[in-house]
Chains A and B, each alone.
Chain A
Amino acid sequence: MAELLRAEKLSRHFGGVKALTNVNLTVNEGEILGVIGPNGAGKSTLFNVLTGFYKPSDGKIHYKNRDITGRPVFETAKSGITRTFQNIRLFDQVSVLQNMLVGMHTQLRPKFTEILFKKPDAIPEEIRGRKDAEEVLDSFGLLDVAHITAGNLPYGKKRRLEIARAFISKPSLLLLDEPSAGMNPSETVEMMKFIKDIRDKGPTVVVIEHNMKLIMGISDRVAVLNFGEKIADGTPAEVQANHEVIEAYLGKEEE
């Protein structure tokens, strides 16, 4: 498998707090990589640094053999890294369809003269965008709510819409931050299938999760963070057997 992203000795400090220290991480093309760790282990910070939301205090990020360290978020998004958020971030006041069209921002590029001198529904780029958006909404089971204001959707659909919006930007690397947070067991099983489907359709997926059943069920590899350091990396079975991991989650056995 070809290497898609490589983080070298990545560190991020907030004053004295070391949120990430010397993290080395590779993501291979076409895999699902799980990232786990106790609360405050630096998982979300890792996403924020990888996407350029935070500049790393130290270290380098290579993506598709290019150095993207310190690039602004919209540029990494343009080059194909996108994400969802732990606390869902949708464009609440506009329709579901419009959320999707914003997701296609980097792909639809009508000329400004076209915008001014043609009706919105006569611009070829717009027509294509709407068609694609409806197709993806359909495959995500959201077509029937396409014209509802996104803020009024029920929780589960909001989650799905957020993933759909990230998916439609045709990313090479999709980062999911706790996609099953707040879901019941049956919804979680559905989400597992859903994430696998997405991977099969194209993007490489990195998932942050607390739900062990989900992460062990779908990941090809799992990386474990604790206090900002990577303590293990391997197949789910390897990680489950790792002493340091067990220690991080359950504490040390009394002598």
Chain B
Amino acid sequence: MKNKYKILLFMFALLIPPIIRNEYYVRIVNIFYMYSVVALSINLIVGFCGQLDMGRAAFMGLGAYCSAILTVKMGLPFIAAFLISGAFSGLIGAVLGFLCRKSAFDYLTLVTIGFNAICQIVFLNWIPVTGGVMGISRVPQPNIFGFHFDTNTRFYYLALFFLAASFIAMHRICNSRMGRAFEAIRDDSIAAEYSGINVQLYKILNFAIGSVFTGLTGALFVHYTQYASPFNYTLDESIYQLQMAILGGLGSLAGSLVGTFILVVLPEISRSFYEYRLLFVGILMVVMMLYFPNGLLGKEGVGERLIAVRLGMLGGKNSRKDSGG
């Protein structure tokens, strides 16, 4: 995208709360922004490195509980707790990545599902620390150097900043030597190794970096909802998050935002619609697989088709050749 459009998009994003002027809608957008970062981190792990991780919600939970405990029980300021939570989640991600460094594809998936279940049990049963079924309530709202993000609108700008910073960071990582190494591992780990890439180390790094972002999001989320509940970080939640990344297109960062938008914002349009959310998602996934097998903005996705149509209008011949069969 050209710089001009980027600036326009950012200006538009800044103006969203005054335009929609509805606390409830702003809240939905806030949630959309935060889930977007989770979808981005899933994209980094699943889309770029090809490691099918189905336990992302566990890392959100780790970040959330870590930050909640640090602020509520130890009285740390928000910003410190927030950053420590990211580091903590990243550390656990590195440990899990280290343990799975030799696991083949499907086994890694099973390990992450198992890890999610373990975290769930720990959140529920380690009552002195996590509060058990009751969770941790009265988590303070974000407060950075005296500025309170205590309304939805104020929080909106924090979430926007968080999303923009995460997006830029991921974009740069993915377009660097490191991101190329991730993609090389996904496409052919043996050839990657022969190119001098320490495959095991890079898999661990990938998992750790993804977990930092997931953990930070979990922490931000818990300060927003002010309540850490053990029921928010289930396997169902992980799968729903995975669907956001897949729907948008694995390997496309912008796609993650689109996928998240569809799965977070659309079900909120009306409450009655919300009841049929899973039905809607199921149909959507089937339709997507038929028409956009690599996701909406993935390879041969909406973006590339639009370009093809435009070229077709100019050239005339190329577009017909494809649609013939």
Contact = CB atoms under 8 A, between A and B. Distances in A.
Q: Is chain B a partner of chain A in the same complex?
A: yes
Given A92-B188, A93-B251, A106 B176 contact: no
B183 A93 contact: yes
A73 B178 CA distance: 19
Contacts of B199: 74
B183 A91 contact: yes
B31 to A, nearest CB: 27
A158 interface: no
Interface stretch (A23-31, A78-86, A136-144, A240-248): A78-86
A109 B177 contact: yes
A205 B186 CA distance: 29
Given A105-B177, A120-B172, A120-B176, A85 B191 contact: yes
Contacts of B197: 74, 102, 105
A77 B194 contact: yes
Contacts of B181: 102, 105
Contacts of A103: 195
Given A77-B195, A89-B191, A102-B192, A110 B177 contact: yes
B155 to A, nearest CB: 25
B103 interface: no
A115 B187 contact: no
Contacts of B187: 90-94
Interface in A93-139: 93-94, 98, 101-103, 105-106, 108-110, 112, 115-116, 118-120, 123, 125-126
B195 A93 contact: no
Interface residues of A, number: 38
B194 A83 contact: yes
Please tell me the size bucket of the interface on B.
Answer: 20 to 34
Contacts of A108: 177
A53 B183 CA distance: 21
A134 to B, nearest CB: 16
Interface string B288-305: 000000000001000000
Nearest to B169: A116
A126 B179 CA distance: 13
B256 to A, nearest CB: 17
Given A93-B183, A93-B299, A118-B172, 15 more contacts: A74-B196, A74-B197, A83-B194, A90-B191, A91-B188, A92-B187, A92-B188, A94-B187, A102-B180, A102-B184, A115-B173, A115-B178, A116-B172, A116-B173, A165-B195
Interface of B: 169, 172-173, 175-178, 180-181, 183-184, 186-188, 190-199, 251, 299
Interface of A: 51, 53, 72-74, 77-78, 82-83, 85, 89-94, 98, 101-103, 105-106, 108-110, 112, 115-116, 118-120, 123, 125-126, 149, 165-166, 169
16 contacts: A73-B193, A77-B196, A82-B195, A89-B191, A90-B188, A91-B188, A92-B188, A93-B251, A94-B180, A105-B180, A105-B196, A110-B177, A116-B172, A119-B172, A120-B172, A165-B195
